[in-house]
Amino acid sequence: MTKRNVLITGGSRGIGAAIAQEFAAAGDRIAIHYGTSAVGAEALRSGLPGSDHIAVQADLRDPEAIRLMVEKVASEFGQIDVLINNAGVFTDHPIQSTTYSEWQEAWAHVVGVNLIGAANVTWCALQFMPKNSTSRIVNIGSRGAFRGEPVSPAYGASKAAIVAFGQSIAQALAPLHIGVTTLAPGFVETEMAARLLNAPIGDAIRAQSPFNRVAKPEELAKAVYFLASEDSEWASGAVLDFNGASYLRM
């Protein structure tokens, strides 16, 4: 396959870092977006297979910062062939025990990054995407979009909205041969999930799957790689549940 230019939001660690490794190993050129972890992003960039990878910073709650970040990627690479909307935040804000100010702050932060930020990155990246069958957009959703997230309702709502967003733009971009899909994982072994997986509740979380474990970031990366491939066009609009049978739906 011809080398592609891939922008991964939240690419400096966890799922995003595994995705970067997977695409770089296949010969693609990677733009690692990060919010605050410049050291981590640079360490990942320097260790990726291949060359000409870059790290770019932006607060995804800031539309202008997003525009400048995407334009920098396009300036370095010439075009953006694949966008992976991976960046996401999760904060505890159960409705029954959160103050009104905490509630508002959580919703603004989580929806601002997970949904509005992803939408803005997508609009900006589209301006530099070839309108052909090699261009792909993959959104990282969550099983929480379907089963609910009582401790973090803004997270569940943002991931449900990402599904609807992906399906909407899948229809809009199909005439341009740009495929859009969503991966919906359950728990994954990442820094974000470590505080729960390493706590007493960790065993119960692993037991949610009949495999009695949670996903590895590398497993998600391989699924994303397929969804971003040229062979995935007919999957456009689809949501791939990727949770080890921990949550099943029709």
Quote the CA–CA distance of 244 and 69 in Å, as a whole number.
35
Check 34, 100, 155, 247 and give the catalytic one. 155
Region 89-103 average pLDDT? 97
Side-chain-side CA neighbours of 22 within 13 Å: the count stands at: 22
Q: What is the pLDDT of residue 132?
A: 84
Give the dihedral of Cα atoms 69, 129, 29, 137; nearest 10 deg.
90
| pLDDT tens, residue by residue, 173-215 | 999 999 999 999 999 998 878 888 999 999 999 999 999 999 9
- Fold classification of 5-189+217-240 (topology level): Rossmann fold (3.40.50)
Quote the CA–CA distance of 83 and 92 in Å, as a whole number.
28
Active site residue 100: no
Closest CA to 215 of 76, 2, 19: 19
- Full-model pTM: 0.96
Confidence band, pLDDT 50/70/90 cuts, at residue 2: confident
Is the pLDDT reported for residue 1 higher than 60? no
Q: What is the pLDDT of residue 194?
A: 83
Domain boundaries, the chain: 5-189+217-240
Which spans in 112-186 are helix H?
118-126, 144-147, 153-173
As given in the structure block, the two tokens for residue 177 are: 């041969």
Mean pLDDT of the chain: 96
Instruction: Please answer whether residues 12 and 214 qualify as being in contact, where contact means their C-beta atoms are separated by less than 8 angstroms.
Output: no
> Which phi and psi (to 5°) does residue 247 adopt?
-150, 120
